[in-house]
Chains A and B, each alone.
Chain A
């Protein structure tokens, strides 16, 4: 058992576009501790989103090792990765990405289709997740009947309903005003502190980044400074 939930060793990532190839990461090393709240900042094109995608198993390193809980995930096949994501990862996107034809509660229930649970247990989990983000009374509303902040909270509920180890957030407050963003960030902080979720958040916003325990700055595929809070 290791302290690190994620370990990246000599990770390379190359994108090939026609004749040109762009090297995003050239031997990246990184460890993320279990239960940490990490923010990743950096200018556009610095590789933040690519890093997040690799951590979520929707993209792969070109070479190097990516360990989750001490086990390499970079050599899992697509099907195994899908299962791994369903078991361990919750995603939160900038534009929420809710299913427009489903109510909030059905949206939250979506990841549970991948679990073997009794209908009763499912209902409980969905209700708990929605309560946790403070949207219990809006369960029957569709996304287009909810504000941006409410939609993002539904998305958070969806991310946590199957009780994953890690929440991966891509600009979760990028589309929200300051006070709504604060709500969301407090929500995330709560999940980190009370429920011991490891959170990795990509953001442009220094205020958002301040909610994290660890702030990383990426530039051209390299961490320029590491600021480890006590």
Chain B
């Protein structure tokens, strides 16, 4: 027998109460994990944005296009390392409701700038040399059950073909993975040459450009240089860091992060009160036993730690169960295409896990502190004389 045995026995003596508390904590941490992953899905664009990448869009709004010549003009600005560009395609697969996000890109430069998208050399070469080829993100391919080599029809809700219709036939040359778990892979990339050769509107244009800088320190200077170069032209630009661009976009969807934080806070507050009160009650019920321990010669500090440890144990067991369940459930949800189409990259990150563990300790300490303090300050004679 040791102190831990005593702590465990104390915790489990009222099995019903313990189960109810465990369940309440379980719920709080399940919510934290599940909502955290949704928040992560929204924030991934900001968190994973590269520090040295700038996004150049039309200053009117990112839905306005830019002239093709801008790519070369920007390349010649000092401090700019690489430039690539992309267009919005507005893609869907078979039914307009089945979104298949597609960017029209220049393959070599795009993969060079977005180095987190991983393809084998073989796949890259095949795509570079095949105008009708596309490369598809792992997640998107999974959503529709596509495989390498498949020939698929991709329709645009914006553009039409020369010969009429909105559907392009493309061949999947490769399926790209993200370098890390959180990288969004729910879209596909299409050859810009193929698109402009076959689409019906006159001319060519750029939707936006992505620029890498020699040094993130230069970001501001380069942004200003780019915007100045095109000031007072018919297509002025607005250049921001990738993180700021993504953040602005997310914020417009509504402050999802704030809502989630509020809900989690509310849940934690409830559970904190429920568990805290329950711990206080069980210490109150054991006043005499604690007095006996002290009379036997257990130092007050040791009794304090034993009560606190009991709360910590409860919070950690409930918290771990809840977090693991959230992990399993999110893992299951990412297998359901209907969910991944709304939330492309649901994942409980290491950071969320760390925060969860921190919260378990915090919850344990908060709920255990006052009961433990009561145990610490307990006067043995008062407690024992209540015979």
Residue of B nearest to A59 (CB): B381
CA distance A8 to B310 in the complex (A): 41
Contact (A82, B300) CB under 8 Å given A101-B13, A106-B1, A113-B2: yes
Q: Which residues of A contact B9 (CB under 8 A)?
A: 99, 101-102, 106
Contacts A53-B381, A59-B381, A99-B289 given; indicate if A111 touches B296 (C-beta within 8 A).
yes
Give the residue of B1, B12, B298 whose beta carbon is less than 8 angstroms from that of A114: B298
Stretch at the interface among A28-36, A88-96, A204-212: A88-96
Question: Given the complex of chains A and B, what is the CA–CA distance between A207 and B170 in angstroms?
Answer: 105
In the bound complex, do residue B1 and residue A85 qualify as a contact, i.e. CB atoms below 8 Å apart?
no
| B292 within 8 Å of A (CB atoms) | yes
- Chain A, range 51-103, C-beta contacts under 8 Å to B: 53, 56, 58-59, 78-79, 82-87, 89, 91, 93-95, 97, 99-102
**A110 an interface residue at 8 Å Cβ cutoff?**
yes
Question: Which residues from chain A contact B13 at a C-beta distance below 8 Å?
Answer: 100-101
Task: Give A100's nearest chain B residue, CB to CB.
Answer: B13
Task: Flag whether A7 is at the interface (Cβ < 8 A).
Answer: no
Q: Judging by beta carbons under 8 Å apart, are A111 and B297 in contact? A: yes
Whether the pair B296, A85 counts as a contact (CB closer than 8 A) is yes
Taking a contact as CB atoms under 8 Å apart, the answer to whether A97 and B288 are in contact is: yes
* B292→A113 contact, CB < 8 A: no
* Interface residues in B350-374 (C-beta closer than 8 Å to A): none
A-B pairs, top 9 by smallest CB distance, nearest first, are: A86-B297, A101-B13, A85-B297, A101-B9, A97-B292, A58-B380, A82-B299, A82-B297, A111-B296
A85 partner residues in chain B, CB cutoff 8 A? 295-297
Assign chain B's interface to a size class: 20 to 34
Q: Does A182 contact B (CB under 8 A)?
A: no
Partner of B297, one of A83, A93, A99: A83
Cβ contact within 8 Å between B295 and A91 = yes
CB-based nearest B residue for A84: B297
**Chain B residues near A91 (CB-CB < 8 A):** 292, 295-296
A59 to B385, CA, bound (A): 12
Given A85-B296, A113-B3, A113-B6, 11 more A-B residue pairs with CB atoms under 8 Å apart are: A56-B295, A79-B300, A83-B297, A85-B297, A94-B387, A97-B384, A101-B12, A110-B293, A111-B297, A113-B2, A114-B297
Distance (whole angstroms) from the CB of A214 to the closest CB of chain B: 24
A114 cross-chain contacts in B, Cβ below 8 A: 296-298
Chain B positions within 8 Å of A79 at CB level: 299-301
- How many Å from the CB of A90 to the closest CB on chain B? 9
Contacts A83-B299, A100-B13 given; does A113 touch B294 at CB 8 Å: no
- Name the A residues within 8 Å of B296 (CB-CB): 85-86, 91, 110-111, 114, 158
A68 to chain B, nearest CB (A): 14
| Interface presence of A49 (CB below 8 A) | yes
CB-CB contacts below 8 Å: B277-302 with A: 288-289, 292-301
Chain A nearest Cβ from B2, distance in angstroms: 7
Contacts of A83 in B (CB 8 A): 297, 299
Main secondary structure of the interface of A (DSSP, over half): helix
Given A94-B387, A101-B13, the answer on whether A78 and B297 have CB atoms closer than 8 Å is no
Size category, A interface = 20 to 34
Write the chain B residue with the least CB distance to A171: B387
- Is B167 interfacial (CB 8 A cutoff)? no
What would be 10 A-B contacts, judged by CB atoms less than 8 Å apart?
A: A49-B385, A56-B295, A58-B381, A79-B301, A82-B297, A84-B297, A93-B384, A111-B296, A111-B297, A113-B6
Residues of B within 8 A of A87 (CB): 297
Chain B proximity mask over A89-132: 1 for CB below 8 Å, otherwise 0:
10101110101111000100111011000000000000000000
Question: Are B295's CB and A58's CB within 8 A?
Answer: yes
Q: What CA separation (Å) do A181 and B221 show in the bound complex?
A: 94
B384 to A, closest residue via Cβ: A93
Q: In the complex, which residues of chain B have a beta carbon less than 8 angstroms from the beta carbon of A106?
A: 1, 5, 9
CB-CB under 8 A from A82, the residues of chain B are 294, 297-300
Residue of A91, A97, A158 with most chain B CB atoms under a 10 A cut-off: A97
B340 at the interface (CB under 8 A from A): no
B160 proximity list for chain A (CB < 8 A):
none
How far apart are the CA atoms of A97 and B13 in the complex, in Å?
16
Are A97 and B300 touching (Cβ within 8 A)?
Answer: no
What CA separation (Å) do A84 and B295 show in the bound complex? 11
Given the complex of chains A and B, what is the CA–CA distance between A184 and B281 in angstroms? 35
Docked CA distance A141–B2 (Å): 19
Q: Could you say which residues of chain A place their CB within 8 Å of the CB of B118?
A: none
B10 within 8 A of A: yes
Contacts of B385 in A (CB 8 A): 49
Q: How far is the CB of B12 from chain A (nearest CB, A)?
A: 7
Nearest B residue (CB) for A87:
B297
Bound-state CA distance A113–B4 (Å) is 11
A113 in contact with B299 (CB, 8 Å) = no
By a CB distance below 8 angstroms, the chain A residues around B300 are 78-79, 82
Name A112's closest neighbour in chain B (CB-CB). B1
A17, B384: Cα distance in complex, Å: 18
